[in-house]
Amino acid sequence: MKQFRDRSAVITGAASGIGLELARRAAAEGMNLVLADIEHDKLEAAAATLNLPAARLLLQKTDVSREDEVAALADAAFARFGGVHLLCNNAGVGLTRVSWELTTADWNWVLGVDLWSVIHGVQHFVPRMLKQAEGGHVVNTSSVAGLLSTPGMAAYNVAKHGVVTLSETLYGELLAAKARIGVSLLCPAWVPTAIHESGRNRQQRFGEVKPAEGLSASYEQRMASAVKSGRLTAADMANEVFAAVAEDRFYVIPHRKINHAIQLRMDDIMQLRNPTQLA
Ligand SMILES: NC(=O)c1ccc[n+]([C@@H]2O[C@H](COP(=O)([O-])OP(=O)(O)OC[C@H]3O[C@@H](n4cnc5c(N)ncnc54)[C@H](O)[C@@H]3O)[C@@H](O)[C@H]2O)c1
């Protein structure tokens, strides 16, 4: 996708972190913005910092785990701007627990926000994007967790692996369909955002999260300090994404130091070796 100016972008999870920086970059590129988040007050405050004229901005409170709300977001975006050229399925939550302590509600929450959201995005946006003469681009935010199997994050890992294979499959299908829609897959490692405080957005229907104890607590602390100490910023992620979209590049893996871990996992598989555990 070469032209951003006067095209329209839909960004989920835009009130904070990577989503907000994607929005900032899209605004700087001269795009119309449809910003969605479950935290509407925070979204309004964040959007105000973009200094966009009202005619170029639509804010929509959306719980991306709910199909009806993603469908309503698509309806609103196409009705307001007549097209969606850049779809960023970015909203996500994290939960750190050993697998045997994850409840069904925990799984439903994480899979709902991190995986079903992207599935619903594909269902409700792509068919309409296919009808646009201008084409478009889909950016799915996964994680290096979608390429590895780091202990303590089973639900997150499963969701993010799902986003990887969904995106790779979608890429192949769009190519086979000769569609003018590109796909990029963002897989960051640690980025200082509010992801380690995801519990703030846990919807009532998923119940309360129980405090972590023992091994789960130590994984939780390790995850929070890794997020806070991340060297690359959310703005770096947005720059990487826009470069990839402009080049029509699929894999966006900004933390190159993680390559050895990805390679190690591939080697374990190819050599039928038990999964190597990194410190
Ligand atoms: N920060 C990292 O280290 C990191 C690493 C890899 C991948 N990611 C991914 O990046 C994406 C953005 O996360 P972030 O790091 O910017 O975190 P963040 O918490 O700063 O932002 C996530 C946003 O998603 C919103 N959100 C949560 N649940 C929602 C729901 N049900 N419906 C709609 N919006 C919802 C939150 O309100 C928030 O604004 C996520 O998909 C996350 O998994 C983050």
CATH number of the structural domain spanning residue 73: 3.40.50.720
CA 37 to ligand 1 center in whole angstroms: 10
CA 194 to ligand 1 center in whole angstroms: 7
With respect to residue 145, please indicate whether it lies within any of the assigned structural domains. yes
Domain that holds residue 219: 8-270
| Cβ–ligand 1 contact at 13 (below 6 Å) | yes
With respect to residue 223, please indicate whether it lies within any of the assigned structural domains. yes
Cβ contacts of 273 within 8 Å, gap of 6 or more: 267
pLDDT of residue 30: 97
Burial of 55 (0-12, 13-18, 19+ CB in 10 A): exposed
pLDDT tens digits, residue range 10-27? 999 999 999 999 999 999
pLDDT of residue 210: 87
Domain count, the chain: 1
Range 146-167 average pLDDT? 98
Both tokens assigned to 116: 């079903």
Looking from the CA of residue 192, the nearest atom of ligand 1 is 1
pLDDT tens digits, residue range 57-109? 999 999 999 999 999 999 999 999 999 999 999 999 999 999 999 999 999 99
With respect to residue 99, please indicate whether it lies within any of the assigned structural domains. yes
Q: Is the pLDDT of residue 279 over 80?
A: no
The answer to whether 58 touches 95, Cβ cutoff 8 Å, is no
Q: Is the pLDDT of residue 43 over 90?
A: yes
Can you tell me the distance from the alpha carbon of 209 to that of 239, in angstroms, rounded to the nearest whole number? Answer: 34
Element (H, E) at 33: strand 32-37
pLDDT of residue 223: 95
With respect to residue 191, please indicate whether it lies within any of the assigned structural domains. yes
CA 260 to ligand 1 center in whole angstroms: 25
Range 201-214 average pLDDT? 93
pLDDT of residue 235: 98
Helices marked H in 90-233:
104-111, 117-130, 154-176, 214-228
With respect to residue 129, please indicate whether it lies within any of the assigned structural domains. yes
With respect to residue 276, please indicate whether it lies within any of the assigned structural domains. no
Q: Is 156 a catalytic residue?
A: yes
Q: For the CA atoms of 212, 217, 222, 226, what is the dihedral angle to 10 degrees?
A: 10
For the chain, give the percent of residues with pLDDT over 90.
98
